[in-house]
Amino acid sequence: MWWTNVRFFLGDKQMILFVFLLLGYIIILGGNSMIIFALTDPKLSSPMYFFLSNLSFVDMFYTTTTIPKMLSSFLSDTTTISVPSCFLQMFFFIQLGITARGILTAMAYDRYVAICNPLRYTSIMTWRVQLLLIAGAWSFSTICTFPATIMALCQPYCGPNVVTHGWCDPSSVRRLACADTSVDNIVSLSSALVALLTTGVLILSSYVLIGISISRMGVTERLKAFGTCAAHLTVVTISYTAASFVYISYRHLLFLFQVRIIVAVVYAVLTPFLNPVIYSLRNKELRDSIRRTLSRFRSAVSATKDINTVS
């Protein structure tokens, strides 16, 4: 059994972070659930909305791997977690984070085809291709996550069994090992760089090609093309900027546990929190679908109340 002692490291900042986390988690679950329900609308059947629903699903479970456990840790001096649960949490936190970037890469390819090959869009982005892209995102994330997780699992561990983090963060868990972890650090860093650079380069390449195609269009077509990828580009920029900031913080603020935990928590919550906000604000079709979904929900609730009243 291992312990996470967040309250000790955060001190008087714990209640502020608790309220921030609780409200953020509620909004993440509510916003992403609303998007998933809204995208069941038959009018939103394009590949972009299929990828968006998958991204919302991943974001919900990505935050669920860590935030509930961390919230409970604010209510007690120490929070215990079994060793198998710790490694499962570590695996899924990393794997789901990379999966989200894989889906963002698939969405970038979708935008590239829509803007650069509009006449062939339907024939290229078939249902089979969409499923292959999603399967590829999940497979890629699993391959990137397995080596570091298996190596960490095979290490011998000895006391004190206290993870100096809000959850089973890989770097914090490795500090509990009794053996040399230099190879583990290299493998973990290499896997992270492969995941970030591979998806980042593919997304950047898609947008370079999109930019070249847009430069040949008229003003009206340019505005329309930019409007179709503005939300995705915003999410990608925030996601990769936040990831770079976290890496720099971990490298240069390694000794400041308070700063590390706060930065890690903000990073874990930021993108899943902003995704539904950005996409719903930038996409009129999605906003209209959300309104229709809420209207159907209110009608169903009213009908239930009427039935109960009659009974």
Per-residue pLDDT reduced to its tens digit, 98-133: 999 999 999 999 999 999 998 899 999 999 999 999
Q: Name residue 57's amino acid.
A: F
Q: For residue 306, is it within any domain?
A: no
Q: For residue 111, is it within any domain?
A: yes
Q: What is the reported pLDDT for 154?
A: 87
Q: For residue 302, is it within any domain?
A: no
Count the Cβ atoms, other than its own, within 10 Å of residue 277. Answer: 13
Q: How far apart are CA 184 and CA 156, in angstroms?
A: 13
Q: What are the DSSP E strand ranges found in 82-197?
A: 162-163
State the total domains in the chain. Answer: 1
Which residue, 67, 73, 61, is CA-closest to 2? 73
Q: How far apart are CA 277 and CA 274, in angstroms?
A: 5
**Do 260 and 252 contact (CB within 8 A), yes or no?**
no
Q: For residue 300, is it within any domain?
A: no
CATH number at residue 241: 1.20.1070.10
Query: Which structural domain, as residue segments, surrounds residue 291?
Result: 2-295
Q: For residue 310, is it within any domain?
A: no
Q: For residue 309, is it within any domain?
A: no
Q: For residue 301, is it within any domain?
A: no
Q: What is the reported pLDDT for 308?
A: 59
Q: How far apart are CA 142 and CA 128, in angstroms?
A: 21
Q: Which of 109-118, 120-129, 209-218, 264-273 has the lowest mean pLDDT?
A: 264-273
Q: What is the reported pLDDT for 71?
A: 81
Percent share of the chain, pLDDT over 90:
30
pTM, two decimal places: 0.86
- Kindly state the helix (H) or strand (E) to which residue 236 belongs, with its residue range: helix 219-252
Count the Cβ atoms, other than its own, within 10 Å of residue 140. Answer: 20
Q: For residue 95, is it within any domain?
A: yes
Per-residue pLDDT reduced to its tens digit, 26-65: 999 988 988 888 877 777 788 988 999 999 999 999 999 9
Per-residue pLDDT reduced to its tens digit, 162-198: 777 777 888 778 888 888 888 988 998 899 889 989 9
Per-residue pLDDT reduced to its tens digit, 244-263: 776 666 555 554 555 666 66
Q: Which of 39-43, 220-224, 229-233 has the lowest mean pLDDT?
A: 39-43
**Averaged pLDDT for residues 76-82:** 71
Q: What is the reported pLDDT for 40?
A: 79
**Do 161 and 176 contact (CB within 8 A), yes or no?**
yes
